[in-house]
């Protein structure tokens, strides 16, 4: 595995990135893969997965409790650190909650900027997932290309917000920074350059017989199971559930731009992949429309006090609905802040999606809900009769990649 880890970055592209003001040369290795702890204990009989224990809590930092000790403005920074991938979704849902509580009118321009940031986040997050999914099934080229095209989006984040992750843009009543006029053409150019790459991924996934054979019909979550487990985001939409907070309970300016909710019906890994790839086009379109329509003006309502009350805010994060409940007693701190990330519902549904299939399909199935992150090095396969350890996460990824290889030989596909 370490050989693979090195090779991805030994061939790293040393390219100068033309930012608005400076040239940087990225030197790796940044490798966030497998860094979030979740523990899946699979029980198998022969090749078949018969049960799964999902053990979480390794990353529990008590953020809800910490929020009770921060003032309202600080909480936005704190919740941004819940996740490094959908790091704008939490503060966005939080400010939506407080603005619901206090009935705050947010300036129009700020709503546009929030929407742009949120959609840029969806693009980089979906590309990240696509890369990981490619890696898990042995398509390391997909992995490297997906992450290569994710880089310019992170550069755009740095140009607009000053940071590649943790953008610190959301603020109760507005945003903390404006988007500069001179940066808009650069962002538009980055989006233009991304479209052919998404075309390439769409073609690579949808037209490749091996990928189809590898991903179709595995890890199925039926529509009814999706309803019972209350799954969200692409996981739900791939199972035929037409839900998306951006349409259902619009925030930002999602009701002022035209875009489609992508819904597939098969509920398998292939459907989840298709949903995420097609959503990239919608995100690009939303950002373009926002850049064209964005009015000039204030970006902050200058909110001073938060009254007594309760508020609920939610956003459609890349993985689904991110839910925040905030309660105020009229002081400058929330007395309760409940946070529910989409993976909380989606990961739990692996209890049904992973059972009954072969272990070679497990890593990609667990990864298919895009659990922020699928830490498969912590997966252990146990023999049901003896409780003896059979293999670990790396063995599983290898097994998954080998299955793809066998399919390639059988079908004669390309990688």
Which residues of the shown chain bind other proteins in the complex (CB under 8 A)? 56-57, 60, 62, 64-65, 100, 103, 227-230, 243, 245, 248-250, 309-312, 314, 321, 323, 325, 327, 335-336, 338, 340, 344-345, 348, 351
CA atoms within 13 A on the CB side of 134: 22
| Contacts of 410 by beta carbon, 8 Å cutoff, 6+ apart | none
Least Å distance between CB 19 and other proteins?
39
Q: Least separation, in Å, of the C-beta of 227 and other proteins?
A: 8
Closest distance to other proteins from the beta carbon of 101 (Å): 8
- DSSP letter assigned to residue 31: -
Residue among 60 and 296 whose Cβ is closer to other proteins = 60
| Rounded distance between C-alpha atoms, residue 300 and residue 109, angstroms | 9
- The residue (of 146 and 245) whose beta carbon lies closer to other proteins is 245
Both tokens of residue 397? 């990824």
Q: Which two tokens stand for residue 230?
A: 């209350």
CA torsion angle for 279, 283, 289, 290 (degrees, to 10)? 150
Tokens at residue 386, please?
């003896």
Smallest gap from residue 414 Cβ to other proteins (A): 41
Find the shortest distance in angstroms from Cβ 349 to other proteins: 8
> What is the spatial distance between Cα 360 and Cα 206, in angstroms, rounded to a whole number?
22
Q: Is 180 exposed, middle or buried (0-12, 13-18, 19+ CB in 10 A)?
A: exposed
Closest to other proteins by CB, 7 vs 332, is 332
DSSP at 377: G
Which of 225/358 has CB closer to other proteins? 225
Rounded distance between C-alpha atoms, residue 210 and residue 410, angstroms: 9
Q: What is the dihedral of CA 47, 235, 41, 356, to 10 degrees?
A: -30
Minimal distance, residue 243 CB to other proteins, in Å: 5
Question: C-beta of 96: minimal distance to other proteins in Å?
Answer: 11
Give whichever of 131 and 311 is closer to other proteins, judged by the CB atom. Answer: 311
Cβ atoms of 236 and 243 closer than 8 Å: yes
Provide the CA 109 distance to its chain's centre, in angstroms. Answer: 25
Nearer Cβ to other proteins, position 179 or 245?
245
Shortest distance, CB of residue 338 to other proteins, whole angstroms? Answer: 4
Q: Which is nearer to other proteins, 112 or 323 (CB)?
A: 323
Closer of 125 and 343 to other proteins (Cβ): 343
**What H or E segment, with its residue span, contains residue 407?**
helix 393-411
């Amino acid at each position: 595995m370490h050989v693979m880890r090195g090779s991805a970055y030994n061939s790293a592209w040393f390219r100068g990135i033309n930012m608005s003001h400076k040239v940087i040369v990225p030197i790796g290795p940044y490798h966030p893969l497998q860094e979030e702890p979740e523990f899946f204990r699979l029980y198998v009989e022969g090749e078949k997965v018969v049960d799964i224990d999902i053990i979480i809590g390794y990353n529990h930092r008590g953020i809800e409790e910490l929020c009770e000790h921060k003032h309202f403005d600080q909480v936005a920074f704190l919740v941004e650190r819940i996740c490094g991938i959908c790091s704008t979704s939490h503060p966005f849902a939080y400010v939506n909650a407080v603005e619901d509580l206090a009935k705050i009118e947010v300036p129009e321009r700020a709503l546009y900027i929030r929407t742009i940031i949120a959609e840029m986040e969806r693009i980089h997050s979906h590309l990240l997932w696509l890369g990981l999914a490619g890696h898990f099934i042995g398509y390391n080229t997909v992995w490297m290309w997906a992450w290569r095209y994710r880089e310019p989006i992170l550069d755009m984040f740095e140009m607009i917000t000053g940071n590649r992750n943790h953008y610190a843009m959301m603020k109760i009543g507005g945003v903390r920074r404006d988007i500069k006029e001179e940066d808009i053409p650069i962002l538009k150019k980055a989006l233009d350059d991304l479209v052919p790459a998404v075309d390439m991924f769409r073609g690579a996934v949808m037209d490749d017989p091996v990928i189809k054979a590898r991903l179709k019909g595995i890890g199925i979550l039926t529509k009814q199971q999706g309803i019972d487990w209350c799954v969200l985001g692409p996981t739900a939409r791939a199972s035929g559930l037409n839900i998306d907070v951006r349409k259902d309970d619009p925030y930002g300016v999602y009701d002022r731009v035209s875009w489609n909710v992508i819904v597939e019906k098969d509920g398998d890994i292939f459907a989840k992949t298709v949903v995420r790839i097609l959503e990239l086009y919608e995100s690009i379109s939303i950002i373009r429309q926002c850049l064209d329509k964005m009015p000039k003006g204030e970006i902050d309502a200058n909110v001073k006090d938060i009254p007594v009350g309760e508020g609920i805010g939610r956003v459609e994060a890349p993985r689904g609905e991110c839910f925040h409940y905030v309660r105020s007693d009229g002081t400058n701190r929330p007395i309760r802040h409940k946070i529910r990330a989409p993976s909380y519902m989606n990961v739990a549904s692996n209890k049904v999606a992973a059972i009954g299939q072969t272990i070679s399909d497990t890593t990609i199935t667990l990864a298919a809900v895009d659990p922020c992150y699928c830490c498969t090095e912590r997966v252990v396969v146990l023999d049901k009769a003896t409780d003896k350890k059979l293999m670990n996460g790396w063995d599983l990824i290898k097994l998954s990649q080998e299955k793809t290889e066998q399919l390639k030989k059988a079908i004669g596909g390309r990688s």
